[in-house]
Chains A and B, each alone.
Chain A
């Protein structure tokens, strides 16, 4: 694990406003894929950020409900590799709308059926975000691995057939301008009548991290409403602590607490290059 980088102490802060979104890094960095741009360098080897214990996840959900959380996100790694994902989803959907971010390569008909049953039993929305990086197989598979495009498309069709209306989430790494429209056309071509697409910028973190880059200063944020940043309303529970940003989970400089969620409701530290990307692009890690 990297050490606390220099500059954290002097970095600008974003105030904590309210807990709107709770993220659970369910499988840590355990994933069956090894994408070239992965935000937290997940992969099939021994994860550098451990999976979340089910009891810790349940405790975080209970805490978040008491804090008035609005929505919950399950991420990883690949969250469908977590052995307790279905019971955890059931717990989460009993209290709030819940989203699972998946690479779409481990879905089975049985799992899709179980998800549809959970969605049907809840008053809250279940959202499944499926990652792709290009609307064409070759470009996508260069980033995500051979055969991933075809498997993800099969998952999209399966989920859509179950009425789950998956959201394709893509980074701008492989597909340039017009990616949004190309993805919509791709989904329509699959027979998906309600194509849902979310495009994210590439963040300089994880496997996409380069040489040290531009970081935010208080001068950069002059006149900017810091409460509009995602980290003002987001907390992320990982195996080793609580963070304000899902893509910085596991990085010591970003950790707010090593225990309870309630201990992590102070300001977020905007020390990372990814904070500059978030500020510059206005990106949201939420569905909308």
Chain B
């Protein structure tokens, strides 16, 4: 596990193929399955774009897995809040229903994250850079300009992406925070934006599987989203055993989001059941 401090991890790693995942949300069962899958797919390095906590039942079980697989982590808003002992998760919700569930999750996560792990969260960098062949990759949690900015597919214009890439001297932007994956090629494939989605919560598509992204460098950047089945029933039972809201377990079992969906834009909201 890397432990760059501060916001200036400007050491640029170079790779042929990387796996990038986001939003672990304390779902150790899903994380273990995803990391095993990245090994089978010949990923040279695994990056995680943050939000290790929230939602799931076992916050502290996530950290040894990241260490064992040498995952390079970017700080998410949740990590920042837990490390600082902040009053809330700074997820950026504005809806009362979203905030209700976010508060429950956050209080549980803080109470079940060890002091050692909280201290480690404080060392995480705000972004990372890598090279994939000729492509300059910028990795962040929400957006390069704000840790909790939601870059939804239907509310992120090409003009904004071009500006963010130019401002950060990159050809490829990788982010998470929304929990929903998407990708877009700009300017004939000269630039790319990829939201890698989340591994801690399903895709709001009616299946319990979770997703991460595999990126391969070359003259053309290859982006593949990979779905992973895992023991979601065990994760759901753990939520119930901890007394966490039954809506959380329902999401893991059905693949439909039941909470924290009031901030979804119309297009993304229309795809889900609730």
Interface residues of A (CB under 8 A from B): 18, 65-71, 95-97, 119, 123-127, 163-165, 180, 193-194, 196-199, 284, 287-288
Return chain A residues, CB-CB under 8 Å to B87: none
| Contact residues of A: prevailing secondary structure | loop
Q: Which residues of A contact B112 (CB under 8 A)?
A: none
Q: By the criterion CB–CB under 8 Å, are B155 and A125 in contact?
A: yes
Tell me the residues in window 201-229 of chain B with beta carbons closer than 8 Å to chain A beta carbons.
Answer: none
Chain B residues near A69 (CB, 8 Å)?
157, 159-160
17 pairs from A and B in contact (CB 8 Å cutoff): A65-B159, A70-B156, A70-B157, A97-B154, A97-B157, A123-B153, A124-B155, A125-B265, A125-B266, A127-B265, A127-B266, A165-B270, A194-B269, A194-B270, A198-B95, A288-B93, A288-B263
Instruction: Assess whether A284 is in contact with B94, with CB atoms less than 8 Å apart.
Output: yes
Once the chains are docked, how many angstroms separate the CA of A126 from the CA of B154?
9
Shortest beta-carbon distance from B261 to chain A in Å: 9
- Complex CA distance for A65 and B160, rounded to whole angstroms: 8
User: Residue of A at shortest CB range from B151?
Assistant: A70
Count of B residues near A, CB < 8 Å?
Answer: 28
Least CB distance, B180 to chain A, in whole angstroms:
13
Tell me the complex Cα distance, A124–B156, Å. Answer: 8
- With both beta carbons as reference points, the residue of chain B lying nearest to A165 in the complex is identified as B266
Return B193 CB to nearest CB of chain A, in Å.
Answer: 13
* In the complex, chain B residues whose CB is within 8 Å of the CB of A198: 94-95
Chain A's closest residue to B96 (CB) is A180
Q: Could you tell me the distance between the alpha carbons of A18 and B164 in the complex, rounded to whole angstroms?
A: 11
| Contact mask for chain B residues 146-163; partner A; CB cutoff 8 A; 1 contact, 0 none | 000010111111111011
Chain A residues, Cβ within 8 Å of B157 = 65, 68-70, 95-97, 124
Q: Which residues of B contact A180 (CB under 8 A)?
A: 96-97
Contacts of B93 in A (CB 8 A): 288
* Closest 9 pairs (CB-CB, A-B): A68-B163, A288-B263, A125-B265, A125-B154, A97-B155, A96-B157, A125-B267, A125-B266, A65-B159
- The minimal Cβ–Cβ distance linking B98 to chain A, given in whole angstroms, is 8
- Residues of the A chain whose Cβ atoms lie less than 8 Å from the Cβ of B158: 95
Alpha-carbon gap, A126 to B153, bound state (A): 13
- Contact A119-B159, Cβ < 8 Å, known A68-B164, A124-B154: no
In the bound complex, residues from chain A placing their C-beta under 8 Å from that of B263 are 288
User: Which chain B residues (222-274) contact chain A, with CB distance < 8 Å?
Assistant: 262-263, 265-270, 274
Q: Which residues of A contact B159 (CB under 8 A)?
A: 65-69, 95-96
Minimum Cβ distance to chain A for residue B102 (Å)? 13
B266 touches A164 (CB 8 A): yes
Closest to B162 in A: A68
Q: Does B39 contact A (CB under 8 A)?
A: no
Which chain A residue lies CB-closest to B161?
A68
Chain A residues with Cβ under 8 A from B41's Cβ?
Answer: none
CA distance A70 to B267 in the complex (A): 16
Question: How far does the alpha carbon of A164 sit from the alpha carbon of B267 in the complex, in Å?
Answer: 9
Which residues from chain A contact B163 at a C-beta distance below 8 Å? 67-68
B145 at the interface (CB under 8 A from A): yes
Instruction: List the B side residues contacting A197 at CB < 8 Å.
Output: 95
Distance A155 CA – B27 CA, assembled complex (angstroms):
42
Within 8 A of A (CB), among B36-75: none
**Given A18-B145, A127-B266, A194 and B96 touching (CB < 8 A)?**
no
CB distance from B93 to the nearest CB of A (A): 8
Chain B hits for A287, CB < 8 A: 265
B94 near A165 with CB under 8 A, answer: no
The listed residue (A67, A97, A163, A288) touching B262 by CB distance below 8 A is A288
Give Cα A163–Cα B266 distance, bound, in whole angstroms: 9
Contact A165 B269 (CB under 8 A): yes
In the complex, what distance in Å separates the CA atom of A196 from the CA atom of B268?
13
Please measure, in the bound complex, the distance between the C-alpha atom of A56 and the C-alpha atom of B236, giving whole angstroms: 54
